[in-house]
Chains A and B, each alone.
Chain A
């Protein structure tokens, strides 16, 4: 195994990789747009492919990571899959890229649309991850319609998706029919939301309101929510496991798969009702891509293909408690999962083009409405 870092003490002589060995850069990638990564005749399927991902893929309860590793290594006997969990997600790689520090990972698993926007805001357009040659990924055509992540540079494929929606206690409040309902007296001091600055669910709900009320109207809507007593906590953890599970309020912004857990852990189902106001929920597809400087390119492509295969899709969906990215006919889910994971009639997503250049401003304007008053 390669050592990713060297240990050294202050004043000691710590040495490390030579900076000049990096292969990523803007100077080579622009002249072969679309024709990069041709299908090799003899793919090199031997070696160590390093996959960067988020924590719960590896460390939580019953994570999907260990299964994926074992199954992948079984399918490719000469390959070794190693997981790496960057502390600040994709930011770590943007930072590394800016500082010309080495990037060892080959694959990034878990990129959201706003991650791509941040990459492009900080590096050059279409940077960090390579434009994929989708022809090399046979299973890519299984991906459902509407799950195209809309990256103009074609860097990522969705491998699962989740829907952010309100979860409520049906003994305390009725299902809200519309987003407007949440500003009515019936929902006074009812809603727990999250800080869109740092939380995925918080940001998703904010973007949903921007989709519904427009750039010029969403702040008015939030002022009404504030007048109606909305509480915006830091993160999903605090608002759900902290406040909601201790009975603080009757509604929380969470995921539409909430009942899968309620069923698994025998929670009172009345407190785990999923609402789809206006028949909608905000969709957060998660994407995977390959780093520009990947050293195990062929294995990386195989991994992307493998992640979209039948069994992998079922395991990712059920252990991650998200929805699979492929069409129903290409994945077999447990009946219980089907029964308790709900999908909205209409999925809302704000695409790459609208996010680019706007996201930070939207979030900042919103946060300043509440803080420092």
Chain B
């Protein structure tokens, strides 16, 4: 289900006219357009002296200066900016792609960690619901995120409207720095991911270990640094790794908000697929995937090197967020409020603007976008895309994906987590679904499974429709379960399973009664992700659904896009509402199994 479609495309990278060749790979590696300055190195890897000379020449041309700049237009606030004058270095498409992915990862972690801290350590009304809703941005189709960002940050957008009430603006936020906007949009997608993974780990930190450290005289800061951080680090790095891989393969967002100057490798892959140049598309994809997998492998080696110390979670004690006015004014609470404000602008803003866009028109309030959905549902023909069918399919596929992906992910976790080097390799390969470009996976499905694979005797092996979609979703989703569960599992003290076994428990019994309850928060988080992946998946769903009746909500959103975006936005809002409700249910049901 995974390896066949991927293989169908990848084979194009190394086979030409029936013979094996590395010409395509070589061509890409040595093209400065793709690899910038590195292309030179790939072209002649052995002329070390020549390359060292280039590096020395570059270093010699570096100069440092300090200048005063006015970062806020209209505000006379000079800020000294240390300028690092470097002669231009050509990064190439891969270099730029990695650069923006790294920035996006930093931004996502920076925005995601405070959220995890608040959700894990403070008690307030709606905490659990908020925790359930954190991954909501994850299911939004790219075009909806773009429209939401324009509606929020555009020159006539919501934010400028609010600022206008205060008599300032309008500011061209998106025009100022397109790269920054793209990175914020990536954080919109991925900071919630970082937060969700980290909350799961934080909630399974054993509060008693902190108490022990404190009773031994550690300051709160020291206890945090020496006891909590080591237990959180695998989860945080997991979040960062996933973010990097996702933003490395980012496609619709960069060009929708930033423009062609910010094109990534995926943009080129998409173009090559579109003009049916599969050899080049496959070559780019293979390189992209190898890079992602190499990073994954490096991380997994680190993760498996973490010796587990945790012996299971006690009930975490959460402070009330705002017990009284005095506490509410303490620096820490003010900082939380400040973060809350940023979160409202970055996360709630685009979503709310999107919802607002579904009930407005160029000329004011309107209900006609929803009227369109209703009319299509009631009067649409069966060859058209009907809203209810899409909603129903999404929910059914989501639940079915849960049923397949959660056990799959947990099993992979259990098998690989203590298997050392071999386990890391298996685990890395198991991450393949995340590391393959969606476009290419879609094309692989189309050429491999939808058209059918010719078999001897004139038969063709074809796979399409609902069952195939569930499998495609499950394959895309189970790595999330694995990645949420593995850090917790690797943190567990192996002695616990060993003592259970020594006392006569079977391996299965030890898993069920000892390990799983202790990593339940990871399983619930993984399940929420699996559901989200299934709801949000677009590229393989649309291919496998074909002209049939198994389309989902994101597919419907795409199909309703016309000259006006209103009907699609209305469908996008329905998608948000249905997903939000489901997340709350998944988390509540899942919550019963946590402790």
Q: A interface vs B, CB < 8 Å?
A: 4-10, 14-20, 55-56, 58-61, 66, 69, 82-85, 87-88, 91-92, 94-96, 99-101, 118, 121-122, 189, 195, 197-198, 231-235, 237-238, 241-243, 245-249, 261, 265-268, 321, 360, 367-368, 370-373
Contacts and interface: CB of A to CB of B under 8 A. Distances in A.
A122 B276 contact: yes
Contacts of B461: 14-16
Given A101-B451, A248-B154, A20 B458 contact: yes
Contacts of B458: 18-20
B591 interface: no
Interface stretch (B310-318, B464-472, B511-519): B464-472
Among B276, B372, B467, chain A packs the most CB atoms within 10 A around the CB of B276
A122 B145 CA distance: 35
Contacts of A88: 274, 446
B222 interface: no
B360 to A, nearest CB: 11
Interface stretch (B254-262, B423-431, B476-484): B254-262
Interface of B: 1, 33-34, 36, 90-93, 95-96, 143, 146-147, 149-151, 154-157, 170, 172, 174-175, 178, 252, 255-257, 259-263, 267-268, 270-271, 274-276, 361-363, 372, 381, 383-385, 446-447, 450-452, 454, 458-468, 471, 542-543, 546-548, 558-565, 567
Contact of B361 (A55, A198, A265): A265
A242 B466 CA distance: 33
B565 A99 contact: no
Contacts of B146: 238, 242
B381 A14 contact: no
A14 B451 contact: no
B487 to A, nearest CB: 30
A5 B175 CA distance: 47
Given A59-B560, A198-B271, A5 B567 contact: no
Contacts of A122: 276
A249 B451 CA distance: 44
Contact of A233 (B90, B255, B384, B385): B255
A278 to B, nearest CB: 25
Contacts, number: 213
A117 to B, nearest CB: 10
Given A61-B567, A95-B446, A267-B362, A66 B93 contact: no
Contacts of B447: 95, 99
Contacts of B460: 15-19, 101
Contacts of B451: 95-96, 99, 101
Chain A to chain B: the 7 pairs with minimum beta-carbon distance, closest first: A246-B154, A60-B562, A247-B156, A234-B255, A371-B263, A372-B93, A7-B465
B90 A248 contact: no
B459 A15 contact: yes
Contact of A261 (B276, B546, B548, B563): B563
Contacts of A91: 274, 276
A343 to B, nearest CB: 19
Contact of A82 (B372, B383, B385, B446): B383
Nearest to B542: A87
Contacts of A233: 255-257, 259-260
14 contacts: A5-B465, A7-B466, A7-B468, A56-B562, A95-B276, A197-B267, A231-B178, A232-B260, A233-B260, A237-B561, A238-B150, A238-B256, A245-B362, A372-B95
